[in-house]
Amino acid sequence: MKGERLGEFEEFTLLAAGALGDNTYAVPIQQYVEKVTARPISIGSIYAALARLEDKGFLRSTMSESVSQRGGKSRRVYTVTPSGLRTARDLHRVRERIWNAIAEGGRS
C-alpha cells in the first residue's frame, strides 16, 4: 500500500521533524530541510508533506498554547509517531544494506 511508503521529500520532512524534537512546527522544519538539502524549499511543499505524513500516521499534530512571539496565536505542532520513527528506520536500513553492497563490489 502506497500510504505506508515515503517519498524522498516526505522522508526529509519526517526526519527533520524527528531531529528538531517534539512539538516542532512548519517554519523550523522548512528551514532545517532547506539547510540540509541546500536547495530552496517552499513552505507550501512542507505543509503538503506534513499533511500527507499525518494522514499516513507518521506524524501527530496538536494545537499549541498561544505563543507570545506570534501575536498570541497558537500554532500547529508536530510530533513523530512510533510508526513514523519505525518507517524511517526501515528506510534507513534498506539504504544501508544497498550502500554496503555497493561497497562490497556490487553484490548483495
Partner 1 sequence: MTRLPRPARWLVALSPVPPDTRSEVESDLLELFAVRRRDGGRLRAHVRLYHDVASLWLQRRPSSPAAARRSPFASMRDVPGDLKYAARLFRRQPAILCLTIAGLSLGLGIATAAFSIMNAALRGEGLADPDRAPVVLRTTDRSVSTAWKYDEFVHLREGSTRMQVEAVLTESAPVHATPGEGDAPSTAVAFVSGGFFAAAGGRTTLGRPLEAADERQAGPPPVVVSFVFWASRLDRDPAAIGRTIHVGRTDATIVGVAERGFSVPGNRLLWMPATAYGAVYGSGAGRHTPDAGIQVFGRLLPGVALAEAEAQLSGVAASLSNGATAGDSPLRAKLDPRAGLGRMSRSDALGIAVFVFAVIGLVLLLACANVATVLISTAITREREMGVRAALGASRGRIFRQLVTESLALGAVAAAVGLLVARWALPTIGTMIEAPAGADLSPDLAVYLFLAIVTLVTGVGAGLAPARHGRDADLVAPLKGEGASQNRVAPRRLRSMLAITQAAVSVLLIVLATLFVRATFRAAAIDVGFDAAGLYAVSTALAASDDSVAALRSFQARAMSELQGMPGITAVALTELTPFGGATKSAITRDVPARVVHFNGTDAGYFETMGLRTLAGRTYSRAEVEAGAPVAVVSESLARAYWHDRSPVGQVLPREIPASPVQPVVIGVVADAITARLHERNALAFYQPIDHSSGVPAQLLMRVSPGASGVVEQANQRLRAIDPQADLRIASIASLLRQEAGRPRMLAALTGIVGTVAVVLCVIGLYGLTASVVGQRAREMAVRAAMGAAPRDLTRLVMWDSLRPVVIGLAAGVAAALLASRVVVATMFFGVSPQDPVAFAGAAAILLVAATLAVLVPTRRAAAADAALVLKQS
Asked if residues 9 and 53 have their Cβ atoms less than 8 Å apart, the reply is no
Asked if residues 14 and 80 have their Cβ atoms less than 8 Å apart, the reply is yes
51 binds partner 1, rule: CB under 8 A: yes
Site stretch for partner 1 (CB under 8 A), options 15-23, 65-73, 79-87, 91-99: 65-73
Per-residue b or e along 21-55, where b marks 16 or more CB atoms closer than 10 Å to that residue's CB: eeebbbeebbebbbeeeeeebeeeebeebbebbbe
Q: Which is nearer to partner 1, 76 or 92 (CB)?
A: 76
Q: How far is the CB of 66 from partner 1 (least distance, A)?
A: 11
73 binds partner 1, rule: CB under 8 A: yes
Residues that bind partner 1 (CB under 8 A): 25-27, 30-31, 40, 42-45, 47-48, 51-52, 55, 70-71, 73, 75-76
